[in-house]
Amino acid sequence: IYLLKMNKYNTHTHTHIYMIYDYISNSASFCLPNHSTTVRRPFPLSHGTTTLGFIFQGGVIAAADTRASAGGLVACPAVHKITPIHSHLVVTSSGSGADCMLWERILTREIRLYQLRHRRRLSIRGTAKLLSFMLHPFKGTEVCVALTLCGWDKESGPKLIYVCSDGARLQGDIFSVGSGSPYAYGVLDGGLKWSLSKDEAISLAREAVFRATHRDAYSGNNVDLFHITAQGWSQRKREDLKEEYYRDMEKRSKDRRGKIKRE
């Protein structure tokens, strides 16, 4: 049980940590792991992904693949890795599927409570800080979340902040997270310019996820794309990367035919 001061000037970070203990202990007897007697788990949990986000002149783009792998098995080929928190914030998740799902749920709850208590929406930077402080007690445990908060603040415009369970909290213009991120970074770094149009940015994001899923075994299936502007987030229809692959093959075979003609 904790005491919550409803004072406008009070920072709630300290009490939030106790709220998390409370929340989880309310569900069941939650024991923080005791490292000398950690139980070996006989099953693998879902991991492996490619997610990315970047800022350009038209807002923020968030993209992710949709594969959840558990060891060598594709546990689910159609997961939602990008979840909206509120109308101007989406979060891309990477790491352990269950951890991301539950922590996003906790974050959504805290943001909503903040909005109800303080009659204003918490900024993206504030949200990231809150999430980072909530994850801090679990540093060193098996909790594995690497979230990218992509949103639009009324005061400061587009924002992209990376928060992970190791304690990192970084603001930037491009982030890619997950096992497929090196491949995605290559494509993004090569093609990203501030002055891209909306369609060019979307096709760049899709291309980056496609290349990553092509090379990374743990990413694949479909690509989800979200576009965040001052008016809020909008989601593109989920696209099957199999189609993208066949389109790409078509294009390459045309080029090859072209080359042979020239010689």
Catalytic residues: 49
Q: Quick check: 180 binds other proteins (CB under 8 A)?
A: no
Residues 81-120 that bind other proteins (CB under 8 A): 96-102
Smallest distance from other proteins to CB 22, Å = 12
Distance in angstroms (rounded) separating the CA atoms of residues 160 and 181: 16
The angle at the Cα of 129, spanning 19 to 20, to the nearest 5 degrees, equals 15
Single residue of 6, 8, 9, 40 touching other proteins by CB under 8 A = 40
How many CB atoms lie under 10 A from the CB of residue 248?
15
Distance in angstroms (rounded) separating the CA atoms of residues 231 and 93: 23
Taking only Cα atoms into account, the Rg of the chain, rounded to an integer number of angstroms, comes to 20
The nearer residue to other proteins, 95 or 151, going by C-beta atoms, is 95
Smallest distance from other proteins to CB 45, Å = 6
Tally the residues of the chain: 263
The nearer residue to other proteins, 45 or 113, going by C-beta atoms, is 45
Q: Quick check: 217 binds other proteins (CB under 8 A)?
A: no
Interhelix angle 198-215/241-262, rounded to 10 degrees, is 90
Smallest distance from other proteins to CB 77, Å = 8
Contact by Cβ (8 Å): 166, 153: no
Interface characters, 44-83, with other proteins (x: CB under 8 A): xxx---------------------x-xxxx-xx--xx---
Single residue of 32, 168, 217, 249 touching other proteins by CB under 8 A = 32
User: Checking DSSP bridges between strand 89-92 and strand 146-153, what pairing results, if any?
Assistant: antiparallel
- Residues that bind other proteins in the complex, under the rule CB under 8 A: 24-25, 27-33, 38-46, 68, 70-73, 75-76, 79-80, 96-102, 141-143
